[in-house]
Amino acid sequence: MHNYSHSSLTTLVNYHFSNPQDTRLLRSTRSFNFLVSLALRQAAFGTAARLLNAMKAESVLPNLETWKLTVRWLVRTGRWDEAMRRVQRVMRRERWPEELGLRSGHQDGLPLPLWMEFFGSLKRGALRRWVKIPQRRGYGWKSANFRCVVLQTSTVSGSMQVSRYRSLMNMFPLVASPEYSQLPPRAVFFIAQAMIQLGNHVKALESTSLYFQTLPRRLSRRQQHAVLDIIHLHIRAVTEKSGLGRHFAQRRIISHLLSAHPGIRPSSKTLFLILASLRSCKRCGTVAMKCLKTFRTRWGPRTESSVVRRRIASLSIKEGRLDIAAVMLESERTLRLQKQSWRTQRDITGGASPRAFTRLLRRPTGKIFHGRGAENRKWQALKRKVSMLKQRRVEDCAVTYRVT
């Protein structure tokens, strides 16, 4: 039954209902949840409704997974308000944790897995219906064709969507609950994004910090990237005006979030984002260079990349510090020569690529279209600008010397 990749949904449902009702091992809560989840995955909403009705008719007790699937079914079919009313109606009862299939030690408040289901949406084109169209092909003989028609659904206005999010934030579960630590980082990203869009920046920062404290001590590369995406979300959400105030506010957020977990380290993208707030500063190049040295001292040379050096060089030119721009240009030239020599050495010796993929049949799109050509053009434009400014300074010095 679990090998459903080679079996249709209809076959599995027929096999499930072919067993007698008294066989609770075969017609259990777990089997119903499996079929409802599969039906929702295939957008078979009518089948999911019939399964839920059969589960209720056979007096099969629902658990938390059943309620999650019920809310998911209602939300995806455009009945968000009905899903909220059902959950609130159950939570008004005295023994509502037992009706939702929760453990006895559950704290007050909506369970986090159930709360997350309300962030779903109606999928465009998911509600379809086959319509019978009669046709006359000859004298006294009729035929019928069937056509799939996408049902028109009512669109949700922006104000209604905001009110829904606000009601969800008022029902936000306790972040100290054990379910919060089991959430994937991507789910926490969307929770923090919703809080930030509603203006709850402090609450979003606190919940993110508490979530980082629940993570395991050692993080995989995928977890590191997902966690850094959350940090970058908070960096972009700083409300201060562009300048030193915004720059140091972003650095305080980074220090606060990194202190929550010792295994999280910023990347070059983190530094690239906080350097953008220095454009309106008077001494932008000097502050950017000091920031780079601080990051390299605390978190190593991996925080420096080609785009970081280019941004520092651009800020230095804006300030008039051509010495800093020259240092960045020389560092970029040296590193490119080193990479070219390593590439030549690897081609001659026939060694394997240091980033060989063993599980993927093709390289990721980000590796194929890496945008190196656009980055090279920006560096060439930066070099021309530096050389032009140096030439202008030489000419100004020559004119001043002749006048004096």
* Contact between 201 and 216 (Cβ < 8 Å): no
Residue of 343 and 267 predicted with greater confidence = 267
* DSSP letter assigned to residue 172: P
**Per-residue model confidence as pLDDT tens digits over 74-128:** 988 888 889 989 888 887 776 777 666 666 555 566 777 888 888 877 665 556 6
What does the alpha-carbon distance between residue 196 and residue 206 come to, in Å, rounded to a whole number?
12
| Residue 387 tokens, joined | 């050389």
The number of CA neighbours under 13 Å toward the Cβ of 288 is 33
CA 393 from centre of chain = 48
For residue 160, pLDDT over 90 is answered with no
Mean pLDDT of 283-309: 93
* Contact between 322 and 390 (Cβ < 8 Å): yes
* Contact between 292 and 328 (Cβ < 8 Å): no
- Helix (H) and strand (E) counts in the chain: 18, 2
| Residue 9 tokens, joined | 């949904």
Amino acid, single-letter form, for residue 62? P
Mean pLDDT of 161-186: 74
Closest to 283 in 3D by CA, of 293, 295, 291: 291
| Residue 106 tokens, joined | 């559950």
What does the alpha-carbon distance between residue 81 and residue 197 come to, in Å, rounded to a whole number?
21
What does the alpha-carbon distance between residue 45 and residue 238 come to, in Å, rounded to a whole number?
42
**Per-residue model confidence as pLDDT tens digits over 231-251:** 999 999 998 877 899 999 999
For residue 1, pLDDT over 50 is answered with no
**Per-residue model confidence as pLDDT tens digits over 318-340:** 998 999 999 999 998 898 888 88
- Please report, for residues 13, 99, 122, 125, 282, the alpha-carbon distance to residue 50 in angstroms, rounded to integers and kept in the order given: 10, 21, 20, 21, 67
- Please report, for residues 62, 321, 337, 367, 388, the alpha-carbon distance to residue 400 in angstroms, rounded to integers and kept in the order given: 88, 21, 39, 52, 18
What does the alpha-carbon distance between residue 404 and residue 399 come to, in Å, rounded to a whole number?
9
- Is 96 exposed, middle or buried, given 0-12, 13-18 or 19+ CB atoms closer than 10 A? middle
What's the whole-number average pLDDT of the chain?
81
Quickly count: other Cβ atoms within 10 Å of residue 34's Cβ: 19
Question: Which position has the token pair 């606060």?
Answer: 256
Q: What is the pLDDT of residue 143?
A: 54
Q: What is the pLDDT of residue 6?
A: 45
What does the alpha-carbon distance between residue 298 and residue 300 come to, in Å, rounded to a whole number?
6
**Per-residue model confidence as pLDDT tens digits over 162-174:** 788 788 877 776 5
Ranges 6-20, 58-72, 186-200, 298-312: which has the least confidence: 6-20
* Contact between 71 and 50 (Cβ < 8 Å): no
**Whole-number percent of the chain with pLDDT over 70:** 75
Task: Label residues 148-160 b or e (16+ Cβ within 10 Å = b).
Answer: eeeeeeeeeeeee
Q: What is the pLDDT of residue 99?
A: 65
Query: Is 131 strand, coil or helix?
Result: strand
Q: Strands 141-150 and 128-138, how do they pair?
A: antiparallel
Residue of 59 and 227 predicted with greater confidence = 227
What does the alpha-carbon distance between residue 7 and residue 265 come to, in Å, rounded to a whole number?
45
Ranges 143-157, 227-241, 257-271: which has the least confidence: 143-157
* Contact between 151 and 127 (Cβ < 8 Å): yes
